[in-house]
Amino acid sequence: MRKLAMATLLFSVFMGPSFANELEGSSEETEQVIPPTMVDGQVDPSAAEPLNLSEIEITTKTPADEFITATTPLLVALMLGSVGLVIFTLVGQSKRESAQLD
């Protein structure tokens, strides 16, 4: 049973990131348009300055989307590791109880 628990832990460490990549690809992205800032009924004066087009990056991901993308593999690996530890603990307890009965 220890081999099974170790295999589960190793599986969770190596397969967690691949499961996270599958989950990431299935999300739908939405585009948000942010209107100009209004201050006391007037448009922000800094908005009238010319834009540097080389600094503009067009993306549909928000910072929250990027955070979730970065942390999903870690969370999946932790979840699978926790399940493996629970299985390992339950198997160990059942062996101890069966040894005490004999």
* 53 belongs to a structural domain: no
Res 85: pLDDT: 96
Mean pLDDT by 10 residues, the chain (102 residues): 74 66 57 64 62 82 90 95 95 87 70
Res 75: pLDDT: 95
Res 47: pLDDT: 61
Res 56: pLDDT: 82
* 51 belongs to a structural domain: no
Q: How many domains does one find in the chain? A: 1
Res 4: pLDDT: 74
Q: Based on the number of CB atoms within 10 Å of its own CB, is 12 exposed (0-12), middle (13-18) or buried (19 or more)?
A: buried
Of 13, 8, 27, the C-alpha closest to 68 is: 27
* 40 belongs to a structural domain: no
Determine the structural domain holding residue 15 and report its residue range.
Answer: 1-20+63-102
How far apart are the C-alpha atoms of 17 and 44, rounded to whole Å? Answer: 44
